[in-house]
């Protein structure tokens, strides 16, 4: 196993992200900007545009490379040969092949994840451009890109050290971004809180890794001591079978790892940072934080558990502990209950959505439980449900936090009461927010409904019927607070009714996510096939 030159195209999107980040940072720092507010505005605009265009480009490259849309034909002597050759070479690095150095998988799963993160970052950059951001824009956008890079690597990692580094790369960038508004009261608090919780969790994660490493190394000694890389997921999976799978060392390490990642995906009881950070961070950052970051955590957790601990799956039963699905079942149970109930009394829209997103993490865990079934068909279905949910959730929450960002910008507040009578002031925005909120609530025919239905199916098939029942009941509870948005926007009288405009770039991002939510709701098979193929790879 060594690094081949042909492996470079396989990590091309990541390399491009790295270059783009440096470029954005560099072009901002190295240009001499004027002092006036106009020059600062110009500076922010330039950095934002560069980021958006760059991310769009990386997205296209990733999309072509993934072969999801089309397979480039062989060059046939026509005028387009240059393009075709380029495409062929790009797709040569497409899904497939064994992980690079055993540590970096470039399968369909990675491709889907990569596209999700880059797409989310692209939309976030649009939202950020519509928001008043002037101080150090290069840093802001650069960190956004680095964080995206970290997430892409997280989803691709099949080795503990790489996974840890990727986790840190994405998290540390986000700590800074969360505390980016230094002059505001809440933003630095959010950054600090996020940092403290995050660093504690990553310490726990790291400790879990070291225990696992110790387990694998000592098992390998017993087995004869051939030299291996003991931090590869696959090696852990090789040793953690049979009786060894119930070794206390392994179980403890696994629990630490779940706890460490639990903070990233904000499941109860590792969620306490989320409401404060979501409320305090700059709104576009919140949009990114609550979607891509969480999705990355889920995908890493999923790949890690399924490849490193297939021997300790267990069953998702609440009454006895026998593997990681039972741990996740308990986490899912408390998460759906606490997340949804705690959202009920909230009066701040962003805080409310923060609790709702905690609730969503609980629903998402249902999809992972199906791994307790040994049938590959079931496992594929569960994985597909997870990915579908993550994509839809990312789109929906990006859109709704985007709307809140616009509102904060225009009205100076993101309390629910500030949204009263919004239909009179900005009808298109109200309409889009309605669609997004209903999708979050899981109302058909929007995409959020399919997502929820799929995870319920997965949970049922995993045998966790009581858990699914509770989750279904919690969707009704959640409807109450989602309807409060509708009530504020449509029914309650407006405190004032001066219309306001949505910034065009932010509008584009919100329209795009709303349109996709509707489209994926009407035609779920647009991406279901692709996702299923990615899922069947991951479920193998």
Partner 1 sequence: MNLIDLPANVPWLSLIWLSLVIPTVIIALMKPERKEEIRIIGAVFSFISLALTLLVYLAYDYRSPEKFQFLEEIPWLPELGINYILGVDGISLPMLLLNGIVIFTGALISWNIEDRAREYWALLLLLAAGVYGVFVSLDLFLLFIFYELAVLPMYLLIGIWGSTRKEYGAMKLTLYLMGGSAFIILGMVAVYFSGTLRTFDMRLLAQSALFPRDVQIIFFVPLFLGFAVLAGMFPFHTWSPTGHVAAPTAVSMLHAGVLMKLGAYGCMRVAMWIFPEGANYWLLPIAIATLINAVYGATIAMTQRDFKFMIGYSSVSHMGLTLMGLAAANTIGMTGAVLQMFAHGVMTALFFAVVGRMVYDRTHTRQFPELGGLFSVMPFAAIVFIIAGLSSMGMPGLAGFWAEFNIFMGMWQRFPLIAVLAGVSIPITAGYILIAVYRVFFGEMKNPEFRHLPGLTVQEYVAGVILVAVLIISGIYPAYLTEPIEASVQPIAEALARAGTLGMRFP
Interface ranges with partner 1 (CB under 8 A) = 423, 438, 443-445, 449, 453, 456-457, 460-461, 468-469, 472-473, 475-476, 479-480, 483, 486-487, 490-491, 524-525, 528-529, 532
The least distance separating partner 1 from the CB of residue 472, rounded to whole angstroms, comes to 5
Three-class SS of residue 11? helix
The least distance separating partner 1 from the CB of residue 358, rounded to whole angstroms, comes to 20
Residue 330, both tokens: 């308990």
Q: Which is nearer to partner 1, 250 or 468 (CB)?
A: 468
Q: Which is nearer to partner 1, 114 or 484 (CB)?
A: 484
Q: Which is nearer to partner 1, 252 or 483 (CB)?
A: 483
Residue 310, both tokens: 């297939």
CA dist., res. 366 & res. 378, Å (int): 13
The least distance separating partner 1 from the CB of residue 493, rounded to whole angstroms, comes to 11
Nearest residue to 63 (alpha-carbon basis) of 123, 8, 104, 119: 119
Q: Which is nearer to partner 1, 213 or 490 (CB)?
A: 490
The least distance separating partner 1 from the CB of residue 501, rounded to whole angstroms, comes to 19
CA dist., res. 125 & res. 133, Å (int): 11
Q: What secondary structure, in 3-state letters, does 445-468 show?
A: CCHHHHHHHHHHHHHHHCCCHHHH
Three-class SS of residue 202? helix
Q: Which is nearer to partner 1, 120 or 429 (CB)?
A: 429
Q: Which is nearer to partner 1, 203 or 427 (CB)?
A: 427
Q: Which is nearer to partner 1, 8 or 473 (CB)?
A: 473
The least distance separating partner 1 from the CB of residue 391, rounded to whole angstroms, comes to 15
Residue 144, both tokens: 């956004």
The least distance separating partner 1 from the CB of residue 441, rounded to whole angstroms, comes to 9
Q: Which is nearer to partner 1, 196 or 427 (CB)?
A: 427
CA dist., res. 374 & res. 253, Å (int): 24
The least distance separating partner 1 from the CB of residue 530, rounded to whole angstroms, comes to 12
The least distance separating partner 1 from the CB of residue 434, rounded to whole angstroms, comes to 9
Q: Give one DSSP letter per residue of 38-97, joined into a string.
A: HHHHHHHHHHHHHHHHHHHHHHHHHHHHHTSS--PPPP-SSTTHHHHHHHHHHHHTSS-S
Length of the chain: 540
Nearest residue to 25 (alpha-carbon basis) of 51, 61, 53, 59: 51
Q: Which is nearer to partner 1, 123 or 440 (CB)?
A: 440
Listed in sequence order, the residues at least 6 apart from 393 whose beta carbon sits closer than 8 Å to its beta carbon are 291, 294, 295, 357, 360, 364, 448, 451
Radius of gyration of the chain (CA): 23
Asked whether 432 and 446 are in contact (CB, 8 A), the reply is no
The least distance separating partner 1 from the CB of residue 450, rounded to whole angstroms, comes to 8
Listed in sequence order, the residues at least 6 apart from 93 whose beta carbon sits closer than 8 Å to its beta carbon are 6, 8, 9, 10, 11, 12, 65, 106
Asked whether 224 and 260 are in contact (CB, 8 A), the reply is no
Q: Which is nearer to partner 1, 487 or 540 (CB)?
A: 487
Listed in sequence order, the residues at least 6 apart from 82 whose beta carbon sits closer than 8 Å to its beta carbon are none
CA dist., res. 99 & res. 114, Å (int): 16
The least distance separating partner 1 from the CB of residue 370, rounded to whole angstroms, comes to 11
CA dist., res. 327 & res. 308, Å (int): 16
Q: Which is nearer to partner 1, 33 or 490 (CB)?
A: 490
Nearest residue to 400 (alpha-carbon basis) of 362, 357, 367, 369: 357
Residue 36, both tokens: 């006036």
The least distance separating partner 1 from the CB of residue 538, rounded to whole angstroms, comes to 17
- What secondary structure letter does DSSP report for 289? I
Q: Which is nearer to partner 1, 20 or 370 (CB)?
A: 370
The least distance separating partner 1 from the CB of residue 328, rounded to whole angstroms, comes to 19
The least distance separating partner 1 from the CB of residue 479, rounded to whole angstroms, comes to 5
The least distance separating partner 1 from the CB of residue 62, rounded to whole angstroms, comes to 25
Asked whether 3 and 100 are in contact (CB, 8 A), the reply is yes
Listed in sequence order, the residues at least 6 apart from 358 whose beta carbon sits closer than 8 Å to its beta carbon are 266, 267, 268, 271, 274, 335, 338, 339, 342, 343
CA dist., res. 284 & res. 354, Å (int): 14
CA dist., res. 359 & res. 297, Å (int): 16
Q: Which is nearer to partner 1, 9 or 444 (CB)?
A: 444
For residue 415, list its beta bridge partners: 348
Q: Which is nearer to partner 1, 244 or 479 (CB)?
A: 479
């Amino acid at each position: 196993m060594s690094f081949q030159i042909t492996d470079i195209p396989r990590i091309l999107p990541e390399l491009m992200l790295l270059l783009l980040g440096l470029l954005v940072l560099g072009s901002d720092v190295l240009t001499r900007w004027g002092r006036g507010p106009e020059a600062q505005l110009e500076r922010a605009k330039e950095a934002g545009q560069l980021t958006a265009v760059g991310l769009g480009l990386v997205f296209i490259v990733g999309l072509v490379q993934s072969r999801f849309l089309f397979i480039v034909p062989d060059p046939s002597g026509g005028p387009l040969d240059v393009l075709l050759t380029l495409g062929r070479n790009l797709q040569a690095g497409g899904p497939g092949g064994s992980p690079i150095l055993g540590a970096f998988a470039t399968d369909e799963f990675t491709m889907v994840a990569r596209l999700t993160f880059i797409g989310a970052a692209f939309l976030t950059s649009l939202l950020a451009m519509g928001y008043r951001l002037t101080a150090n824009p290069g840093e802001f956008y650069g960190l956004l890109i680095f964080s995206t890079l970290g997430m892409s690597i997280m989803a691709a990692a099949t080795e503990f050290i790489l996974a840890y580094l990727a986790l840190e790369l994405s998290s540390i960038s986000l700590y800074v971004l969360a505390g980016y508004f230094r002059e505001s009261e809440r933003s630095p608090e959010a950054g600090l809180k996020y940092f403290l919780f995050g660093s504690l969790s990553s310490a726990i994660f790291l400790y879990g890794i070291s225990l696992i490493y110790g387990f694998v190394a000592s098992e390998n000694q017993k087995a004869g001591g051939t030299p291996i890389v003991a931090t590869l997921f696959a090696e852990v999976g090789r040793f953690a079978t049979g009786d060894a799978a119930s070794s206390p060392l392994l179980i403890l390490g696994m629990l630490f790892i779940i706890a460490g990642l639990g903070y990233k995906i904000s499941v109860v009881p590792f969620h306490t940072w989320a409401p404060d950070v979501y409320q305090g961070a700059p709104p576009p950052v919140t949009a990114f934080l609550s979607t891509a970051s969480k999705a990355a955590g889920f995908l890493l957790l999923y790949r890690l558990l399924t490849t490193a601990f297939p021997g300790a799956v267990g069953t998702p039963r609440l009454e006895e502990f026998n593997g990681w699905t039972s741990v996740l079942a308990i986490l899912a149970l408390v998460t759906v209950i606490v997340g949804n109930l705690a959202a009920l009394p909230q009066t701040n829209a962003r805080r409310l959505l923060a609790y709702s997103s905690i609730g969503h993490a609980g629903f998402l865990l249902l999809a992972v439980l199906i791994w307790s079934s040994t049938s590959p068909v079931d496992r594929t279905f569960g994985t597909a449900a997870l990915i579908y949910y993550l994509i839809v959730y990312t789109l929906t929450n990006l859109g709704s936090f985007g709307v809140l960002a616009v509102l904060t910008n225009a009205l100076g507040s993101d309390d629910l009461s500030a949204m009263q009578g919004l239909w009179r002031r900005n009808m298109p925005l109200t309409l889009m927010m309605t669609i997004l909120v209903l999708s979050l609530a899981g109302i058909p025919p929007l995409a959020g409904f399919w997502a929820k239905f799929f995870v319920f199916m997965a949970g049922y098939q995993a045998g966790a019927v009581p858990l699914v029942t509770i989750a279904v009941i919690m969707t009704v509870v959640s409807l109450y607070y989602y309807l409060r948005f509708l009530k504020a926007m449509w029914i309650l009288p407006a405190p004032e009714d001066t219309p306001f405009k949505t910034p065009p770039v932010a509008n584009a991002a919100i329209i795009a996510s709303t349109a996709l939510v509707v489209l994926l709701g009407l035609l779920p098979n647009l991406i279901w096939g692709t996702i299923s193929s990615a899922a069947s790879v991951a479920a193998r």
